Amino acid sequence: MITVHYFAGIREMTGTHKENFDWAGVTVGQLKERLIQKYPQMQGNSLQFAVNEEYALQTDILSEGDAVALIPPVSGG
Protein backbone atom coordinates (compact mmCIF):
# COMPACT_ATOMS: atom_id res chain seq x y z
CA MET A 1 0.00 0.00 0.00
CA ILE A 2 1.14 3.53 -0.85
CA THR A 3 -0.15 6.47 1.18
CA VAL A 4 -0.57 9.73 -0.74
CA HIS A 5 -0.73 12.98 1.25
CA TYR A 6 -2.39 16.14 -0.08
CA PHE A 7 -1.83 19.73 1.04
CA ALA A 8 -3.12 23.25 0.44
CA GLY A 9 -5.04 23.68 -2.84
CA ILE A 10 -4.52 20.02 -3.79
CA ARG A 11 -6.08 18.92 -0.47
CA GLU A 12 -9.09 21.11 -1.15
CA MET A 13 -9.35 19.72 -4.68
CA THR A 14 -9.34 16.09 -3.54
CA GLY A 15 -11.40 16.78 -0.42
CA THR A 16 -9.12 14.63 1.75
CA HIS A 17 -5.77 14.78 3.56
CA LYS A 18 -4.58 11.38 2.39
CA GLU A 19 -5.52 8.27 0.47
CA ASN A 20 -4.14 4.73 0.18
CA PHE A 21 -3.53 3.04 -3.16
CA ASP A 22 -2.30 -0.45 -4.04
CA TRP A 23 0.34 0.97 -6.37
CA ALA A 24 3.69 -0.44 -5.17
CA GLY A 25 6.10 -0.85 -8.10
CA VAL A 26 4.91 2.12 -10.16
CA THR A 27 7.08 5.19 -10.70
CA VAL A 28 6.31 8.61 -9.28
CA GLY A 29 5.48 9.77 -12.83
CA GLN A 30 3.01 6.90 -13.28
CA LEU A 31 1.42 7.72 -9.93
CA LYS A 32 0.97 11.28 -11.11
CA GLU A 33 -0.79 10.09 -14.29
CA ARG A 34 -3.10 7.83 -12.27
CA LEU A 35 -3.96 10.64 -9.89
CA ILE A 36 -4.76 12.93 -12.83
CA GLN A 37 -7.11 10.23 -14.16
CA LYS A 38 -8.88 10.24 -10.80
CA TYR A 39 -8.74 14.04 -10.39
CA PRO A 40 -8.73 15.65 -13.87
CA GLN A 41 -8.56 19.11 -12.25
CA MET A 42 -5.05 18.21 -11.08
CA GLN A 43 -3.85 18.46 -14.69
CA GLY A 44 -1.80 21.57 -15.32
CA ASN A 45 -0.98 22.22 -11.66
CA SER A 46 2.68 22.78 -10.90
CA LEU A 47 3.61 19.92 -8.55
CA GLN A 48 6.65 18.38 -6.97
CA PHE A 49 6.58 14.99 -5.28
CA ALA A 50 8.12 13.78 -2.04
CA VAL A 51 8.65 10.14 -1.11
CA ASN A 52 9.21 9.39 2.57
CA GLU A 53 9.69 13.10 3.30
CA GLU A 54 12.35 13.78 0.65
CA TYR A 55 11.91 15.33 -2.81
CA ALA A 56 11.64 12.60 -5.45
CA LEU A 57 12.21 12.22 -9.20
CA GLN A 58 9.47 11.19 -11.65
CA THR A 59 11.52 8.05 -12.37
CA ASP A 60 11.74 6.91 -8.71
CA ILE A 61 9.94 3.61 -8.14
CA LEU A 62 7.51 3.34 -5.24
CA SER A 63 7.76 0.53 -2.71
CA GLU A 64 5.22 -1.04 -0.39
CA GLY A 65 4.63 1.26 2.61
CA ASP A 66 5.99 4.42 0.98
CA ALA A 67 4.50 7.78 1.93
CA VAL A 68 4.10 10.06 -1.08
CA ALA A 69 3.27 13.76 -0.80
CA LEU A 70 2.12 16.11 -3.52
CA ILE A 71 3.95 19.40 -3.03
CA PRO A 72 2.37 22.42 -4.74
CA PRO A 73 4.59 25.54 -4.96
CA VAL A 74 5.59 26.36 -1.38
CA SER A 75 4.87 29.75 0.21
CA GLY A 76 6.33 29.74 3.71
CA GLY A 77 7.90 32.73 5.38
Partner 1 sequence: MKPFSIVTEPINPQLYADYVLRPEAGAVTLFTGHVREWTKGVQTVFLAYEAYVPMAEKKLAQIGQEIEEQWEGTRAAIAHRIGELQISDIAVVIAVSSPHRKTAYEANEYAIERIKEIVPIWKKEIWNDGEQWIGDQKKKPEGELR
The only residue of 19, 21, 34, 72 in contact with partner 1, by rule CB under 8 A: 72
Residue 54, interface with partner 1 (CB under 8 A)? yes
Q: How far is the CB of 77 from partner 1 (least distance, A)?
A: 5
As a whole number of angstroms, the distance between CA 26 and CA 68 comes to 12
Nearest distance from C-beta of residue 52 to partner 1, angstroms: 9
State how far the Cα of 74 lies from the Cα of 23, in Å rounded to an integer: 26
- For residue 59, what are the CA distances in angstroms to 7, 15, 28? 22, 27, 6
Pick the binder of partner 1 from 1, 3, 9, 63 (CB under 8 A). Answer: 9
Shorter beta-carbon distance to partner 1: residue 8 or 24: 8
